[in-house]
Every structure is written in structure tokens, then in C-alpha cells.
């Protein structure tokens, strides 16, 4: 494997290569090697699984070698389980042996509040990705689940608290919902009670730590979620992932974003949850990043610290450096990190006449980063999309200038500090932009004021500033409400208002007229009936309902998805009239569910239980393939056979349900209009209009005039 080609092995360590052109043959060779009575496991006490491709071979070895212990990482106390805590932190990113730099910001945030919480439990679900088209893809997931039950979690004590690391094998197919649920199940298996035993649960990233917190926190726990992710848009484009995200947002007591840029994305996607959103940046312990004794005299020693990937702009950074190196014989570049570009970087440096001036180093622990910063003249960061820019702040804290692509995060982080802390350059795929920025910064090096820039960043992101905000959001609701005024006094760059923002008034944005405030509950107020059957733009429909309430109307919502409305935290003045249960009881619907899903599903479930009783993996593999085949066939039958016919009669079916279950609850005499959202509601709206010929029935989401007070 390429990652072993540049490793200097210590004495006494033997490397057994099982290379093959066929991945399936490679896996078989590895299993045979571990089975061999004279092979590497002879006399061994411990087998460490290093990556997801090793799971099937490790499971095979574990059941063949009696007394062989298997682990994912050596720990001082094998078999130890997570203990109850005062504060539980759930995160997919945290410093580990696999990636010492991952999630350093989470560790720093814990440090900011560590003194107030004697028992901190860090629950780290670590992605172990594998190719979705790997030949042993099903065996990987099954063997991982079985080994997790035998191996147990990796629990150790650290200065930040008790850290529990749980490897989560995930397919490279970009399915955020499947990934998130994989994290949930891996953590559920790890916890002694199946839930997180802590009164406060802080999840990092909505789709991972947030979903785990939402699914596994105790019902009485206060749930706080912090969003760091730069990939929210792809998440929101996947319906299943978006639904999980909103469920986490609905469960959260407070939802934090590390930058205004992220705040705006979440608010725009879920405007009805805006009252929960706050901007609370990452915490940085500036005491760990002491400034250098002397400022750099020139900017010839470049440094990059982070993931080595195209998403971070490392390829453009390398090209820009080669251009500068051709002009400056003393220029050097140090790249510190791990990632998919490692081999390409080696190839590029081998081809370039200036490659000998590039120092490629593996990722280091966070404690080694400050000395790296001080040993170089310039931190260069060309990432086109950053939500915060942690290493940028750390470099300035060390007195090292920065040359940074002006993506949303660094723009906010370095607000007011351009040309004092370094230089922000345009986000571009052209390396020449970085080169020109470098020349400009070097020309004006005497204008830098790094001590002042550092002091400004301490005020914004120092431990105490962030700890004050975290104490507020960790406090019970009645306490945190009183603390909102105090929170407003701690400014965030680009944020003029208090961190708690009132719900958006969508009517103002459209030029409508709104009363001074929502009218009180009035059972005699005129009503609007909203027929919401799978609306294509739920967000717009939800905003329309709020505008109706602001104008003094009572709203009745006929819906086939009441859970979606409840997740949106709809006002108590809205009456939900669900018809989903009635539709599920219809004979044609029940017949399809029974024949296509329930009966085959029950048979597969019985087969899976029996297969799990076998030590060998192959029975469960057969059941998994059968289950996948059934899912595909059932999906085809529903979409290609059942639904084309059912959609013809569905409007009539839905109207019968409304006639029987909903109509007696409607007050059509006080109803001013019926609004239809979704094509399957058109028939219902038409039938309601027939019952009262003077009733306005429309699909327009323009609200009527306000009710007179």
C-alpha cells in the first residue's frame, strides 16, 4: 500500500505485504496469512485492526485463535465502558492517533468550560471510510459490528476528560443520512445503558454529533449543538439527511454556529428555528500560542498545517510556491498533515526542480503546532471554503503573518485585521492570485501589526470570552434567557445584533402590512384552511402560516405529514388535522404494505437473527444480499407498479378521509379561504369549495388583509 512505502519501521517490526492486482484476492490472502499456524499470529496476544478493510480478516482470526485479544487501538484499560458525566461532548472530530489535528477546536472548547464540569465525557465517533465498491463491502460492515461487541470501546482519561473513541466504518458513497445513523448505532452499542448519561449533551456538527445527541440524549437532558461543517448545502440537498438535521435542530435547546456565515445558511434553510440560533465561535487557548520573540524579517519560510486535500486548496498552494521558488532561492515550504493528496504531492515535488525545498511532514499533535508556527515566517492557507479558520488565528497568536484566501470564515475571523495580521486574497483556482498576494504582503511587511492583531483576537476568541457564552447556553432555560443581554455585550465580527435573533418577519421582506404584534388567541377570529399534502416548498408554506397568524387569523392545516409540522415548531394557534393514519388504513395501501414489505421483511428478520448465531460471516452476508435485493424490488414495485395506479385514485381516497375524519372538525362558516399547497390537495380544495360556493379557494401564498382589531 502506498502509505507504507515511506515509513521507517523500528527494529523488531516485520512488514508482511499481501499485494495483489485483485482486491478480492488481496483480502483472501490476508485471511490465509492470519490463519497460518506459523504466520504472524503465532504466539501473539493482541491483534490491532488498523483500517476498515482489515475487519473481515480480523473477525476470521479472532474466532480461529483462542485467547487472541482484538482491538482498534491499544488502551490502558481494555473493557472499560463510558461513565456517567456532568457534560457529554459528542463529536466526529477529535485528536487521535489516526489524525492528531482533527477536532483540536473541540478540545479547546472543552478546555474553556472544564473547570465548571468535573466529569466530562468526550464521545468521539471516528469515521473509518472504505470504498463503496470494495469487494468485501458487506463483510466490512458486518465484521465491524461483530468486532465492536467483542472489542468494546476505547476509553481513556485525558486532561479534557474521559475520551471514548468509537470507529465507525462508512462507505465512500456520499449518503449523509446513512453516515449519521451509522454514528448513532455505533455509539448506542458503546453506551452501557444505550443512552448518554449526562444532564448536558453538546454535539458538534449537526448531521453527526447533533443527530447522535438527538437520538441518544436522555429526555431530560439539555442538548446544545455546534455547527462547524463547510458542507451544509450537500446535506440539505439530500431529503433524508435534511430530515435528520431538522430533527436534531428541533431537539436542540440551543443551536450554535461558529461563524455568521454558517448561521445564515442554517437560518435560511430553517427560518422557523431561528430563535434557537446563536453565533459562538471556536475557543482558542492563547496561552498555548505564545508569540515569537522577534517578528519575521522576511517571508521566505512558508508553512501549511491541515488536511492535504483539494478542498483545502493545497494543490494551488504548491503551484504558487513553485512559482515563488523560481524567483527566491531561499524560499521553502513545509506541509504538515495527512490526506488524499500525499502521493500526488510527492510526485509533484519529485518532478519539480524546486521539490527539494518542500518538506512534507505527517500530521502532528496540537501541542507541536505552536513551535511550528514560530519556526516559520508565513502561514499560507488557500482553502476556498472555510467556516472559521482555526490555524489562521493560531498563527497570528504566535506572531506569524498569514496569507489566506478570503473565504467566508477567514473574512469574518480576520475582520478589521487585513494588512495588520497578514493579507486576505481573492478566492481563486489560479495560483497566480496567491503569488501576487505574496508579493504584495512582502512589499508591505513593515505595515504589519501582529501584537495588536493578537490582542484583538484574544478578545474575540479567547477562552474566557467563549466560556462566558457557553456557560449561558449550558444553563437551564430560565437562567439562559436572563443571560441573553450579557451575551449581546460580547461582539462577534460581522454581528451587530445580540446572538439570540428574533424570528424572521417574512412579510416585511415582501412589503406586506403587519399589525404591531401577533393578535391574542381568539376563538372567534376568521379562519384559513390550509391543505398541505406533500408541498414541494414546505419552507414557504410554513412562512405563509406565520404571516397568517401575524395578521390575526386562525389556521387549520390538513396534512399527511404532521411530524414535519411539529418539527418546525409551529405555533400553538395552528390546529393540525392529520390524515396520514387514515390513508395507511385504506385496504389498497395496507395490502401493498403487507404483501411487499411486512411479510418479506418478517421473513428476512427471522433469517438475520438465525444468521447472527453463526460464527461465520457468510450466512449473514447471504441475508444482507437478500435484504438488499428485496429493498430494490420493493422500491421498484412501489414506484413503477403500485404508485402509478394509486396516484390516479389517491385524490378521491384523501377526500373520503377528509369527509369522514376532518370535515366535522372544520368551522366552514368562519373560514375565509382555503389554500392548497401540493397537487394532491387540489381535489380536497375543490370539494371544500363546493360545500360553500362563496368560499375563496386558491393556491396563492399571498396572505389576505390583516384582521381588524
Asked whether the predicted pLDDT for residue 492 surpasses 80, the reply is: no
Q: What contacts 277, CB < 8 A, 6 or more positions away?
A: 255, 256, 257, 263, 266, 267, 500, 501
Which 3 state secondary structure label does DSSP give 480? helix
Which residues on neighbouring strands pair with residue 554, listed in sequence order?
Answer: 527
Q: Do residues 383 and 407 lie in contact, with contact meaning Cβ atoms separated by under 8 Å?
A: yes
Q: Output the domain CATH number for residue 417.
A: 3.40.50.2000
Q: What is the pLDDT of residues 583-610, one digit of tens each?
A: 999 998 899 999 999 999 999 999 999 9
**C-alpha radius of gyration, the chain, whole number:** 29
Q: Do residues 28 and 140 lie in contact, with contact meaning Cβ atoms separated by under 8 Å?
A: no
> Looking at the domain assignment, is residue 485 inside a domain?
no
Query: Which uninterrupted H or E stretch holds 688?
Result: helix 682-691
Average pLDDT over residues 446-470: 93
> Looking at the domain assignment, is residue 650 inside a domain?
no
Whole-angstrom Cα distance, residue 427 to residue 384? 6
602 shares its domain with 553 = no
48 shares its domain with 160 = no
Q: Do residues 634 and 600 lie in contact, with contact meaning Cβ atoms separated by under 8 Å?
A: yes
119 shares its domain with 231 = yes
Q: What contacts 435, CB < 8 A, 6 or more positions away?
A: 320, 323, 324
Average pLDDT over residues 91-105: 88
383 shares its domain with 512 = no
567 shares its domain with 597 = no
- Of 379 and 524, the one with more pLDDT: 379
Look up residue 235 and give its three cell numbers.
446535506
The pLDDT mean for the chain works out to 88
> Looking at the domain assignment, is residue 76 inside a domain?
no
| pLDDT at site 5 | 64
Whole-angstrom Cα distance, residue 266 to residue 279? 11
Look up residue 619 and give its three cell numbers.
450466512
| pLDDT at site 101 | 80
Which 3 state secondary structure label does DSSP give 333? strand
Q: What contacts 656, CB < 8 A, 6 or more positions away?
A: none
Asked whether the predicted pLDDT for residue 576 surpasses 50, the reply is: yes
Confidence of residue 498 (pLDDT cuts 50, 70, 90): very low
Q: Which of 127-131, 282-286, 657-661 has the highest mean pLDDT?
A: 657-661
Residue 333 backbone phi and psi in degrees, to 5: -135, 130
Of 91-105, 437-451, 486-500, 654-668, minimum mean pLDDT range: 486-500
387 shares its domain with 427 = yes
128 shares its domain with 273 = yes
Burial of 528 (0-12, 13-18, 19+ CB in 10 A): buried
How many domains is the chain built from?
5
Asked whether the predicted pLDDT for residue 616 surpasses 80, the reply is: yes
Asked whether the predicted pLDDT for residue 520 surpasses 80, the reply is: no
Which residues on neighbouring strands pair with residue 555, listed in sequence order?
Answer: 528, 574
| pLDDT at site 491 | 46
| pLDDT at site 317 | 96
Average pLDDT over residues 498-514: 34
| pLDDT at site 103 | 86
Q: What is the pLDDT of residues 230-263, one digit of tens each?
A: 899 999 999 999 999 999 999 999 999 999 999 9
End-of-domain residue from the set 457, 487, 518 = 457
Look up residue 372 and give its three cell numbers.
511550528
Whole-angstrom Cα distance, residue 235 to residue 2? 32
Whole-angstrom Cα distance, residue 270 to residue 276? 11
| pLDDT at site 97 | 84
51 shares its domain with 141 = no
Asked whether the predicted pLDDT for residue 683 surpasses 80, the reply is: yes
Confidence of residue 477 (pLDDT cuts 50, 70, 90): low
> Looking at the domain assignment, is residue 343 inside a domain?
yes
End-of-domain residue from the set 252, 279, 306 = 279
| pLDDT at site 136 | 81
Look up residue 23 and give its three cell numbers.
482486491
Confidence of residue 549 (pLDDT cuts 50, 70, 90): very high
> Looking at the domain assignment, is residue 440 inside a domain?
yes
Q: Do residues 77 and 156 lie in contact, with contact meaning Cβ atoms separated by under 8 Å?
A: yes
End-of-domain residue from the set 71, 100, 117 = 71
Asked whether the predicted pLDDT for residue 65 surpasses 50, the reply is: yes
Q: Output the domain CATH number for residue 171.
A: 3.40.50
Q: Do residues 521 and 553 lie in contact, with contact meaning Cβ atoms separated by under 8 Å?
A: no
> Looking at the domain assignment, is residue 479 inside a domain?
no
Q: What contacts 593, CB < 8 A, 6 or more positions away?
A: 584
Average pLDDT over residues 21-37: 83
Whole-angstrom Cα distance, residue 586 to residue 73? 53
Confidence of residue 366 (pLDDT cuts 50, 70, 90): confident
Of 253-257, 502-506, 603-607, 629-633, minimum mean pLDDT range: 502-506
| pLDDT at site 427 | 93
622 shares its domain with 689 = no
Which 3 state secondary structure label does DSSP give 112? helix
Whole-angstrom Cα distance, residue 402 to residue 420? 10
Average pLDDT over residues 375-396: 92
Whole-angstrom Cα distance, residue 24 to residue 20? 9
- Of 123 and 567, the one with more pLDDT: 123
> Looking at the domain assignment, is residue 215 inside a domain?
yes
Kindly report the number of other CB atoms within 10 A of residue 410's CB atom: 25
41 shares its domain with 8 = yes
Can you list the alpha helix ranges (DSSP code H) found in 637-707?
Answer: 643-657, 682-691
**N residues, the chain:** 709
Per cent of the chain over pLDDT 70 is 92
Confidence of residue 339 (pLDDT cuts 50, 70, 90): confident
Q: What is the pLDDT of residues 264-275, one digit of tens each?
A: 999 999 999 999
Average pLDDT over residues 95-108: 87
**Residue 396 lies in domain:** 290-457
570 shares its domain with 685 = yes
Average pLDDT over residues 676-697: 93
| pLDDT at site 13 | 84
Asked whether the predicted pLDDT for residue 674 surpasses 70, the reply is: yes
Query: Which uninterrupted H or E stretch holds 158?
Result: strand 154-158
| pLDDT at site 180 | 96
| pLDDT at site 100 | 83
> Looking at the domain assignment, is residue 704 inside a domain?
no
Q: Do residues 43 and 67 lie in contact, with contact meaning Cβ atoms separated by under 8 Å?
A: no
Whole-angstrom Cα distance, residue 427 to residue 278? 27
Per cent of the chain over pLDDT 90 is 66
Per DSSP, the chain holds a count of helices (H) and strands (E) of 28, 21
Asked whether the predicted pLDDT for residue 519 surpasses 70, the reply is: no
Asked whether the predicted pLDDT for residue 435 surpasses 60, the reply is: yes
Asked whether the predicted pLDDT for residue 698 surpasses 50, the reply is: yes
623 shares its domain with 566 = no
Average pLDDT over residues 163-188: 93
Can you list the alpha helix ranges (DSSP code H) found in 518-617?
Answer: 538-550, 562-567, 580-584, 587-592, 599-612
Amino acid at each position: 500500500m502506498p502509505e507504507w512505502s515511506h515509513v521507517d519501521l523500528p527494529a523488531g517490526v516485520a512488514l508482511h505485504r499481501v499485494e495483489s492486482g485483485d482486491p478480492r484476492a488481496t483480502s483472501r490472502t490476508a485471511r490465509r496469512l492470519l490463519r497460518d499456524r506459523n504466520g504472524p499470529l503465532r504466539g501473539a496476544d493482541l491483534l490491532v485492526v488498523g483500517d476498515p478493510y482489515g475487519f473481515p480478516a480480523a473477525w476470521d482470526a479472532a474466532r480461529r485463535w483462542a485467547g487472541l485479544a482484538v482491538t482498534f487501538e491499544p488502551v490502558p484499560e481494555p473493557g472499560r465502558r463510558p461513565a456517567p458525566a456532568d457534560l457529554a461532548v459528542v463529536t466526529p472530530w477529535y485528536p487521535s492517533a489516526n489524525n492528531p489535528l482533527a477536532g483540536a477546536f473541540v478540545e479547546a472548547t472543552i478546555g474553556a468550560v472544564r473547570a465548571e464540569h468535573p466529569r466530562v465525557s468526550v464521545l468521539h465517533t471516528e469515521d473509518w471510510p472504505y470504498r463503496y465498491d470494495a469487494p468485501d463491502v458487506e463483510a466490512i460492515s458486518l465484521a465491524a459490528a461483530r468486532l465492536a461487541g467483542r472489542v468494546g470501546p476505547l476509553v481513556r482519561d485525558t486532561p479534557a476528560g474521559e475520551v471514548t473513541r468509537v470507529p465507525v466504518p462508512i462507505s465512500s458513497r456520499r449518503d449523509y443520512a446513512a453516515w449519521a445513523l451509522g454514528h448513532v448505532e455505533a455509539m448506542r452499542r458503546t453506551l452501557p445503558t444505550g443512552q448518554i448519561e449526562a444532564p448536558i449533551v453538546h454535539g458538534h456538527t449537526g448531521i453527526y454529533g447533533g443527530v447522535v445527541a438527538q437520538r441518544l440524549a436522555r429526555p431530560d437532558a439539555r442538548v446544545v449543538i455546534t455547527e462547524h461543517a463547510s458542507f451544509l448545502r450537500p446535506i440539505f440537498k439530500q431529503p433524508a439527511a435534511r430530515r435528520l438535521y431538522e430533527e436534531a435542530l428541533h431537539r436542540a435547546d440551543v443551536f450554535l454556529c461558529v461563524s455568521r456565515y454558517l448561521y445564515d445558511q442554517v437560518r435560511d434553510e430553517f427560518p422557523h428555528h431561528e430563535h434557537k440560533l446563536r453565533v459562538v465561535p471556536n475557543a482558542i487557548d492563547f496561552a498555548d500560542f505564545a508569540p515569537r520573540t522577534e517578528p519575521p524579517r522576511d517571508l521566505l519560510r512558508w508553512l501549511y498545517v491541515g488536511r492535504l486535500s483539494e478542498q483545502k486548496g493545497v494543490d494551488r498552494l504548491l503551484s504558487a510556491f513553485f512559482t515563488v521558488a523560481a524567483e527566491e532561492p531561499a524560499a521553502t515550504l513545509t506541509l504538515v498533515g495527512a490526506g488524499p493528496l500525499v502521493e500526488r504531492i510527492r510526485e509533484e515535488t519529485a518532478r519539480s526542480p524546486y521539490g527539494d525545498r518542500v518538506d512534507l511532514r505527517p500530521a502532528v499533535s496540537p501541542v507541536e503546532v505552536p513551535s511550528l508556527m514560530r519556526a516559520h515566517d508565513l502561514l499560507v492557507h488557500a482553502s476556498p471554503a472555510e467556516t472559521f479558520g482555526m490555524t489562521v488565528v493560531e498563527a497570528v497568536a504566535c506572531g506569524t503573518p498569514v496569507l489566506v484566501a478570503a473565504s467566508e470564515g477567514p473574512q469574518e475571523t480576520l475582520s478589521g485585521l487585513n494588512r495588520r495580521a497578514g493579507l486576505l486574497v481573492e478566492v481563486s483556482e489560479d495560483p497566480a492570485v496567491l503569488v501576487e498576494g505574496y508579493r504584495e504582503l512582502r512589499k508591505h511587511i513593515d505595515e504589519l501589526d501582529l501584537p495588536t492583531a493578537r490582542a484583538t483576537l484574544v478578545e474575540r476568541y479567547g477562552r474566557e470570552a467563549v466560556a462566558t457564552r457557553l456557560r449561558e447556553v449550558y444553563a437551564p432555560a430560565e437562567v439562559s434567557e436572563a443571560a441573553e443581554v450579557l451575551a449581546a455585550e460580547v461582539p462577534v465580527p460581522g454581528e451587530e445584533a445580540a446572538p439570540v435573533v428574533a424570528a424572521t418577519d417574512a412579510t416585511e421582506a415582501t412589503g406586506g402590512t403587519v399589525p404591531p404584534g401577533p393578535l391574542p388567541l381568539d376563538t372567534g377570529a376568521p379562519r384559513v384552511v390550509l391543505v398541505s399534502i406533500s408541498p414541494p416548498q414546505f419552507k414557504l408554506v410554513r412562512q405563509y402560516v406565520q404571516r397568517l397568524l401575524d395578521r390575526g387569523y386562525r389556521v387549520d392545516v390538513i396534512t399527511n405529514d404532521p411530524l414535519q409540522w411539529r418539527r418546525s415548531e409551529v405555533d400553538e394557534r395552528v390546529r393540525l388535522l392529520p390524515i396520514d393514519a387514515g390513508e395507511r388504513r385504506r385496504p389498497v395501501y395496507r395490502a401493498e404494505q403487507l404483501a411487499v414489505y411486512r411479510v418479506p421483511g418478517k421473513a428476512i428478520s427471522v433469517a438475520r437473527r438465525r444468521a447472527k448465531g453463526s460464527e461465520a460471516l457468510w450466512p449473514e452476508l447471504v441475508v444482507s444480499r437478500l435484504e438488499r435485493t428485496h429493498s430494490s424490488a420493493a422500491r421498484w414495485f412501489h414506484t413503477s407498479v403500485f404508485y402509478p395506479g394509486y396516484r390516479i385514485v389517491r385524490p378521491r381516497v384523501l377526500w373520503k378521509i377528509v369527509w369522514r375524519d376532518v370535515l366535522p372538525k372544520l368551522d366552514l362558516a368562519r373560514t375565509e379561504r382555503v389554500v392548497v399547497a401540493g397537487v394532491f390537495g387540489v381535489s380536497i380544495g375543490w370539494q371544500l369549495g363546493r360545500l360553500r360556493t362563496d368560499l375563496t379557494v386558491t393556491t396563492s401564498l399571498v396572505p389576505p388583509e390583516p384582521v381588524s382589531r
